[in-house]
Amino acid sequence: MNVDVKEHVRTLTDALTNLSPSRNLISQFILLLPKASSIVEHSYPEITSSAEAKSLMKQHLGVEFGDMVKRASNSFFEALYEQIHKIFDQLADEEIRSGLAKLSNVAFNSIPNPYAEWVKLVLKKLSTRPDGSKIIDFLRMLVERGSFIVSREGYSRSASQTDWQPFLEEARKSIKANPAEFDEILKLTVQSSESPEEERISESRSVGVSYTTTTTYLKHSEYHLDLLSHIRTSTQINSHYWVDDTYEVRHKGLVKAVLQEVQI
């Protein structure tokens, strides 16, 4: 039996991209949890207005409905939530999309970039808020700077100083936001107070006379722009021990290009 590999690759690519929250309401619903019940019911009436649908999602898919609507641990929805982030990162890679295009014998630009689609959708939404211009200006400053030293331990006073908090204060003044406004901007774009946890996405270790361990975490924000990686590097040489915490902007070129398209 002849198997058309190109057709199967196209089917696989379509299935993966259709999981994107920019294309799938259920994926969007899953991605934005946990949320207060009142917000969920207002934002997703198509999903929450049916008692039967809510019961089925709770029983079979892993949504916990209460004052807060959450994904249940070790549930189907929790697994799907994790896959959405992996698909974002994998299909944001031009080499991977190029390989899929060659395997399926289609043009490169016909392979969607789900993360780019989601960024465009979220930034469009944020830009329509009353503080939209301040949000976009902050993001442009963040992306332009690119990387930040958050904290350092074990270094002498002559070592490079932390610059994350000074950057935030500089940005707040530059966009003319009061402290309360700026806290909301950080929640929307950098890290949500409702999702304070960081997801570990990689770890590497080198061992010799010294050892260095580098662990990278993904910082989740309100709408899962997920612009920052938190990188912790621990180094020990004999009795000396150093720890660096840095932030790096993820998908910098992609986000910068999308920001240039945003109209305020």
Averaged pLDDT of the chain:
91
pLDDT tier at 48 (50, 70, 90 boundaries)? Answer: confident
- pLDDT of residue 52 exceeding 50, the answer is yes
Residue (of 261, 260, 255, 262) closest to 119 by Cα position: 255
Q: What pLDDT shows up at residue 3?
A: 61
Q: What is the pLDDT of residues 60-82, one digit of tens each?
A: 999 999 999 999 999 999 999 99
Q: What pLDDT shows up at residue 4?
A: 81
Angle formed at CA 107 by CA 102 and CA 110, multiple of 5 degrees: 115
Contact 189, 135 (CB under 8 A): yes
* Separation between Cα atoms, residue 151 and residue 201, nearest integer Å: 20
* Separation between Cα atoms, residue 77 and residue 71, nearest integer Å: 6
pTM of the model: 0.88
- pLDDT of residue 2 exceeding 70, the answer is no
DSSP assignment of 118-152, as one string? HHHHHHHHHHTSTTHHHHHHHHHHHHHH-EEEEEE
Percent of the chain with pLDDT over 90: 74
CA 254 centroid distance within chain = 13
- pLDDT of residue 195 exceeding 70, the answer is no
DSSP assignment of 103-120, as one string? HHT--GGGS--HHHHHHH
Please state the rounded mean pLDDT for residues 100-114: 93
* Separation between Cα atoms, residue 38 and residue 204, nearest integer Å: 42
- pLDDT of residue 1 exceeding 50, the answer is no
Percent of the chain with pLDDT over 70: 96
